[in-house]
Amino acid sequence: VGIADNQLVKQGDVLFAVDPESYRIALAQADAAVATARLNVEQLRAAYSQAMAQEKSDTSEVAYAQSQYDRAADLAQKGINAKSSLDEAKNDLDKARQQLAVAEQGIISAKAALGGNPDIETDKHPTVMAALAARDKAAYDLAQTTVTAPADGVISQASSFKPGQYVAVGTPLFTLVETGDTWIDANFKETQLTHMKPGQKAEIIVDTYPGKTFEATVKAIGAGTGAEFSLLPAQNATGNWVKVTQRIPVRLELTDPDAKIALRTGMSATVTVDTGVARGLPKIFGHATAGEATE
């Protein structure tokens, strides 16, 4: 474990490392599987060459047996040779043809084992490709045993994270709050959004710093109210719903560089957006204000 609670970290800093020994063994096994798969392809290629040579030899045997049979048949027709000699030559010819058929089938089988292409590259063979993919997976798993910070930030809720701890898959270990991207979510009433649009200027007063005003701009207006995205949203079609003014989150981008240092997630703030339109009495209040907002 290379971090502690509330520690500042930079992108790429090592947060913690998982015992890598089992993953190194898995990678070594995957490397051995790749070597074995490549060796098997070379053996298949040698088997194909052997089948080709066997087919060539058996073709010669058929040609020789055919000439012997033709000679025996000619002698038997002239009454010089016995019929038994002709039968023996016929039998030798049949055997040679059968051996040739077996050799031709051996070529087909050896070619199929090479993916139908005797000249295929070793690493393009399906078995080698599967072994290489497994090897890449093992290498990736080994690389993941060292966990680094994905961005600059502050470590939180890491007080119980200790060396030697057994971690189950999917278990949250601690929180990394990024410091490079700071924003404010202000929950405005729906009646305050009439003239609000992205790009408008805003002022933020955080409760922690009552005498400090941070500058910001409206970045985006939420797609729905908070209640709409709750676990059990209200069903307003029943006819018994009491109309209540809803609040919609508005994302504000901070333009004040000091805010990125001073603010912390979960703080409360008062947000004022200048819409450029006077509303209410007196008309000098040409703005909309959200009573609470969070980073």
Q: Which of 178, 199, 229 is the last residue of a domain?
A: 178
Long-range contact set of residues 159-168: C-beta below 8 Å, sequence gap at least 24: 159/5, 161/1, 161/3, 161/16, 162/1, 163/1, 167/18
Assess whether 173 and 249 both reside in one domain: no
Instruction: Please check whether residues 34 and 67 belong to one and the same domain.
Output: yes
Confidence (pLDDT) at 148: 94
Q: Can you give the pTM of this predicted structure?
A: 0.62
Pick the closest to residue 253 from 200, 210, 212, 190 (CA basis).
Answer: 200
**Are both 190 and 174 inside the same structural domain?**
no
Confidence at residue 238, expressed as pLDDT on a 0 to 100 scale: 63
- Number of domains making up the chain: 3
Question: Which of 21-30, 42-51, 92-101, 228-237 shows the lowest per-residue confidence on average (mean pLDDT)?
Answer: 228-237
Q: Residue 258 is part of a domain; what is its CATH number?
A: 2.40.30.170
**Mean pLDDT (whole number) for 146-165:** 89
Q: Which of 173, 217, 224, 170 is nearest to 198 (CA)?
A: 217
Q: Give the span between the Cα atoms of 222 and 17, in whole angstroms.
A: 39
Same domain, residue pair 190 and 246: yes
